[in-house]
Amino acid sequence: MDRHMNLILLAGGFAAALAGAFVFEPGMLFLLTEVMVVLILAQMWNLLAGFGGQVSLGQQAFFGLGGYLLFLGANSTQIPLWVWLGVTPLIVGLLAVPLGLVVFHLKNAYFAVGMWVVAEILAAVFMRFDFLGGSAGIVLRPGGASMTMNPERLVFFIAAFGFVAIIVALRLFLKSTTGLALLGMRDSPDAASACGVDVRRMHLMVFVIAAMGCAAGGSLYYITTLYISAADAFQMNWLIVMMFVSIIGGLGTLTGPIIGTLLFIMIREAMTSAGFSGGTYWIVMGALAVVVLLLAPRGLWPLIRDFHFRKTGRVTR
């Protein structure tokens, strides 16, 4: 039953991603790729904070690194861009291991702020050094030559199918005993270690996976813009988006962040096309977050789900 569901998701996701890549025009593909990237980022922050209990305010560090490593790697070598797209998350994942071992010495709020500091330091470093792009940023020139193809169709396909694959992988993971240990740690890390669970290793694993996912998001996003700058790639807004959509939709659920993302994009697009300038939609998002957290502190999806299952008394995750 569950196995079938996962296969249906994968097959359906593949078909939809392929169809979308052919059907939509470039402007729409650009927007939809961003939607997929936000979905991936939200799912990663949700894994880290919602399931792993590690609230980080610095996930934009990995997003920015993902973009930069792709640009620097593709521009300065003859290795194809698409290979770099696959390699970048792995490199960032490797970097996240020693980083995690250091920042885990910080607890709770200190960890959250510590990660923010990491992101700010990275932004300063990339801003400062010209061989990293400096304050001018970098234009994507794979192998030193201008992009000859328009990448948005392929990028959209990879982002959309990648997102579905991530959802299926998370579903499988949460069903596994390792996933069960993670769910247990949400309730009590002490009780988990008393059951023999290596809580530190679990934290590190989740931290690395989230770093890889955010890096993949950064790579995908900046291929579509063809230009990256430290001010944009490491900005706090990326983090705020991940947090908002996860919290509004329902932290610690797989469906919640999807609902949150759709709301976010809809509000933003509606307000922008209605003529509101720049960041006005942030005010609406902020207000929405406050209202949701006051009325349904666990987020929208748990509210909907509980309403739906109240009659049967069935308990779900």
Partner 1 sequence: MFCEKGNALLRATGLSKSFNGVPAVASVDLDLDIGESVGVIGPNGAGKSTLLGLLVGSLKADEGRLIMEGRDLTRMAVHRRVSAGIARAAQIPQTFGRLTVAENLRLPAVFGAGLHGAEAERWVEEVLEMCGLAELAGTDAEHLGLLSRKRLELAKAVAARPKVLLLDEVGAGLTEPEIEQIMELVRKLRDGRAVMWVEHIPFALRGVCERLVVMDKGAKILDGPFEEVWADPDLQAIYMGVPDDEVA
The footprint of partner 1 on residues 135-154 (CB under 8 A) is none
Q: Would you say 134 or 189 has its CB closer to partner 1? A: 189
Q: How far is the CB of 258 from partner 1 (least distance, A)?
A: 21
φ, ψ of residue 69 in degrees (nearest 5): -60, -40
Name the residue type at position 8.
I
Q: Would you say 38 or 254 has its CB closer to partner 1? A: 254
Name the residue type at position 135.
S
Q: How far is the CB of 175 from partner 1 (least distance, A)?
A: 11
In whole angstroms, what separates CA 148 from the centre of its chain? 29
Neighbours of 131 (CB within 10 A): 7
- Site pattern 257..296 for partner 1 (x: CB under 8 A): ----------------------------------------
For 315, the enclosing helix (H) or strand (E) is none
How far apart, in whole angstroms, are the C-alpha atoms of residue 243 and residue 57? Answer: 9
Buried b (16+ CB within 10 A) or exposed e, 47-57: bbbbbbbbbbb
φ, ψ of residue 139 in degrees (nearest 5): -95, 140
The footprint of partner 1 on residues 158-217 (CB under 8 A) is 177, 180-181, 183-184, 186-188, 190-199
Number of residues that bind partner 1 (CB under 8 A): 20
Q: Does residue 113 touch partner 1 according to CB under 8 A?
A: no
Q: Would you say 52 or 151 has its CB closer to partner 1? A: 52
Q: How far is the CB of 292 from partner 1 (least distance, A)?
A: 21
Q: Would you say 92 or 182 has its CB closer to partner 1? A: 182
Q: Would you say 198 or 269 has its CB closer to partner 1? A: 198
Out of 1, 145, 294, 315, which residue is the one contacting partner 1 (CB under 8 A)?
Answer: 315
How far apart, in whole angstroms, are the C-alpha atoms of residue 126 and residue 158? Answer: 27
Beta bridge partners of 139: 227
Q: Would you say 164 or 182 has its CB closer to partner 1? A: 182
Helix (H, G, I), strand (E, B) or coil at 198: coil
How far apart, in whole angstroms, are the C-alpha atoms of residue 38 and residue 239? Answer: 10
Contact residues: partner 1, CB under 8 A: 177, 180-181, 183-184, 186-188, 190-199, 315, 317
